[in-house]
């Protein structure tokens, strides 16, 4: 709620096929915002949709660049 400006910007970036990295303190609603953007009309208009990737693994360890690239490849 109250994230219309951020969601509009994310949708613009998605439509422009730009990579997006969102960061901030825990509990701000980053994941909820990104999930909403990933299900938007802009995302659905892309042939392959969008990829939502967490920056940590299932144990909470931060992913390194190689791990992120591998997960993007797998997606």
The helix (run of H) or strand (run of E) holding residue 65 is helix 65-74
Quick one: average pLDDT of 14-39?
Answer: 89
Quick one: average pLDDT of 3-17?
Answer: 93
DSSP annotation of 58 reads T
Report whether 31 contacts 23 (CB < 8 A).
no
pLDDT of residue 6: 92
> pLDDT (tens digit, 9 = 90+) per residue, 37-72?
989 999 999 888 888 888 889 999 999 999 999 998
pLDDT of residue 1: 65
Start-to-end CA span in the chain (Å): 29
DSSP annotation of 47 reads T
């Amino acid at each position: 709620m109250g994230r219309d400006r951020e969601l509009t910007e994310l949708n613009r970036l998605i439509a422009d096929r730009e990579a997006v990295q969102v960061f901030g303190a825990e509990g701000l609603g980053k994941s909820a915002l990104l999930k909403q953007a990933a299900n938007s009309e802009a995302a659905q208009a892309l042939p392959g949709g969008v990829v939502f990737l967490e920056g940590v693994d299932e144990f909470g360890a931060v992913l390194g660049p190689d791990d992120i690239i591998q997960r993007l490849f797998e997606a």
